[in-house]
Structure 1
């Protein structure tokens, strides 16, 4: 059954790509390249992720295409593995944040009453402290392991997802199709999953892309400050910190991981803009 639909899905995806604006095509191509780099990192890298292969800050050469860092590790290799680690951890964190925030937001909008009050006040407390400061505080207390990093950032970021989901779900909850479902005798869980969620899905999908950017930038920022992804795991934020000294000598090496971060953020936003425009039904 799946095989019969696969060619149609491929043709549909190809036609959407062809009809997409140049900005969206650029974003899709860049995201695809990043994804392939992350998946094929061990095969593309010239050395081991944490392998010391030379002296510190060696210049670009045939042996070290992008030079070495402060410990003598190959920058090209670290840049490639950084794609896998930074993007992978950010994606997992965003999925967890959405699972928590969207579920809580839908429950608050659908059940209302004390459920809404308790969840909303809890979110207010979490949002009352700036996210970066709160993350730094919690990571200082609970440690900086990758599971702790993912959980802390996911919980903090889920508050933003909760607010958006609750707002758009409340608007959908008073719509005619929801009232009809109630008159049919449908329960709140059925209404939440079969009526409200499908109708707010486009907005949530777009928000997922934006949230991924924010989470990605937050993790990179925490790594730059020393409380994100810890050595010897390669991460673009910590790579900027490790090679920042080279800027004084006119070496652009620190700009490479910084540029990789910026390019990914721009590409995701280009795709999100195109998706929102397509979902709105507006024409050029």
Structure 2
């Protein structure tokens, strides 16, 4: 039996590990950018020269010694609000991304392994959620229950998890024909154990890609919700809210709009580069196999 076990395990595909992934310059740059942005978001409120909610000058005043990036529509310091404006994204977007990947992967792996009516029921639910516009669902729920932070995170998870489930299911289905899975089934290994020990490790690379991708999407969705008035509410400092509040003054004081846009883009690029770089490493690894 030990010989059979060794032969079965020898047939396991070697997924691109952390060493291969971090060997990609694109992935390393994405990680560095994401970590740098997160650190800036965390310490930013302590570096703000003024109270983000207090006026320091006239509305839409140009940059000066008092306000390095000028003032916004209410005369508040743009730099102070910029430094304090990412604190919500710093926890809401990662929590939503991790939760959506976790839930989506769990649904996909259980549906793949058990098949039959379990697969049918779980994947039909994801199809319904995929067919229903995520933005419409978010607007409906926020209109009824209010823009609560936990609700926004839950809605983002409901929007992103079905896509993750579809991707991971596609990656997991071919694994059912591998020798190590067939052997584990033959010796009576419980299904959850097979899912945890055999299937999950071999979809870890696609999961990492999905995590980076869903993080970028979570940032975009949460920023969009604040922009249209259904996310973070005034007078809180938030990058999406800053863009919405100061849109009318773009021609007069562009820093009030462009600065938060740059911060959102940089935060999004970090996750996107990790996802794209990981996908290239996985494709190259599969090509070498």
Q: TM-score with structure 2 length normalisation? A: 0.85
**Consecutive aligned runs of 4 or more in structure 1 exceeding 4 Å deviation:** 13-17
Question: 1:60 aligned to 2:63?
Answer: yes
Which region of structure 1 is more displaced relative to structure 2, 79-88 or 149-158?
79-88
2:166 pairs with 1:163: yes
Unaligned runs of at least 5 residues, structure 2? 1-17
Whether the aligned pair in 2 keeps the contact of 1:246 and 1:252 (CA below 8 Å) is no
When structure 1 is superposed on structure 2, of 157-166 and 191-200 the one drifting more is 157-166
SS for the counterpart of 2:132 is coil
CA contact (8 A) 2:70 2:253 kept: no
Name the counterpart of 1:86: 89
Q: How much does 1:125 deviate?
A: 1.5
Q: Which has the higher contact order (CA 8 A, sep 6+)?
A: 2
1:254 aligns with 2:257: yes
Say if 2:188 is the partner of 1:185. yes
- Residues matched between the structures, number: 269
Call closer, same or farther: CA 1:176–1:263 in 2, change over 3 Å: same
Aligned position for 2:106:
103
Displacement of 1:134 after TM fit?
2.1
Which residue matches 2:34? 31
1:15 CA displacement: 11
* 1:150 paired residue number: 153
Which of 129, 134, 137 lines up with 2:132 in the alignment?
129
SS of 1:93's equivalent? helix
SS at match of 1:53: coil
1:170-229 CA-partner distances (Å, limit 9, x unpaired)? 222232221111122211000100000000011011111001101110111111100112
Equivalent residues in 2 for 1:204-215 (5 A)? Answer: 204-215=207-218
CA RMSD of aligned residues (A): 2.3
Structure 1: runs of 5 or more not aligned: 1-12
Q: 2:121 aligns with which of 118, 122, 133?
A: 118
